[in-house]
Structure 1
């Protein structure tokens, strides 16, 4: 299995976990949990595919991703109830930062494969990284975190995407670039959270 495939699967699982936790905190039933987890896991990639005119959508090609989220939603109630006692805010932030890094590099790599110019590719990475969370917050009747957090959330994604593009420009092995830039984005996000760095 290729590294980009592994990154894609990990990103979906992390995104779904974020959706599960948020939906359960809003006392949603299993349908609500599945819906929120689904749009968190697939929202950014779906918008990216639409903008890149990629058909069919990535989760339609790989129906096993959607089936996995469906099964996890069915068993999420007891799992989340158990995790509630051990999952801290710090762990949720780490999961969110990891999802941002994984989704962002998957998005920018997909855009480059589609032949997009560099700036557009970087924006596709940012969109893939943040839009699932935006949809999650909207469905949960919250102002999207990326718009209210005031920490450089999208900027971390943007910087990491450009790091990936520069590494590709200099001919660095793609798998190394993907892993390094996912780690860079995750680290930047966690550093801004830990130091409480804010914009404006």
Structure 2
């Protein structure tokens, strides 16, 4: 793998994790949770989808065990969550956070599909594993905060973008496109699909 592509994927991965963690911080703050509750909600949001994927695929060690540095960073961030959220609201606009969340959706979904595909799962199963990886952290976050999960009450495409993007990745892999480029192309598709549908308020039929 080219060093620049490796660096790009690492940066995208970190951006995705912290975007998901910050969405957990925001929800925890809304619910007036203490530092312990904030940490639990943040790690559930950031690692919930990947953990479910690893459980279903019997994959060990879990992602957050392999990447302890991310876990420690989120722990430290949770101790200063109120200050962090104030800084975030000043430095980052809602559009930037939306874009970061879309990157997270894309990268996690494609990573989940890739891992399932490497484990010799059927195509459809691999795609569903990818979608679960991308969206399930948010589902756990909402359940912990006693909310109906967002993907069940917001008709704007979210899981749908991940579903289509994961199929694109499978197609690119079938066409023998280099894995790194397949990940970048499919992730970019999910990112753009999410931003475009959000910008034009596209909604799925009820």
Q: Please report the TM-score for the alignment, with normalisation by the length of structure 1.
A: 0.91
Residue 80 of structure 1 and its aligned partner are, at CA, apart by: 0.8
Q: Which residue of the partner structure matches residue 16 of structure 1?
A: 21
Q: Which residue of the partner structure matches residue 74 of structure 1?
A: 79
Contiguous gaps of at least 5 residues in structure 2: none
Q: Which residue of the partner structure matches residue 104 of structure 2?
A: 99
Kindly indicate whether residue 180 of structure 2 is the aligned counterpart of residue 175 of structure 1: yes
* 2:164 aligned to which of 159, 167, 171: 159
Q: Which residue of the partner structure matches residue 145 of structure 2?
A: 140
Q: Which residue of the partner structure matches residue 185 of structure 1?
A: 190
**What CA deviation, in whole Å up to 9, does each residue of 1:87-145 have, x standing for no partner?**
44433332322211111111111111212111111001000000001111111222111
* 1:45 aligned to which of 50, 54, 67: 50
Residue 7 of structure 1 and its aligned partner are, at CA, apart by: 4.4
Contact persistence 1:36–1:139 (CA under 8 A) = yes
Aligned residues: 200
Contiguous gaps of at least 5 residues in structure 1: none
SS at match of 2:103: helix
Residue 81 of structure 1 and its aligned partner are, at CA, apart by: 2.0
Q: Which residue of the partner structure matches residue 196 of structure 1?
A: 201
User: What is the root-mean-square deviation of aligned Cα atoms in Å?
Assistant: 1.8
Q: Please report the TM-score for the alignment, with normalisation by the length of structure 2.
A: 0.89
Q: Which deviates more, 122-131 or 134-143?
A: 134-143
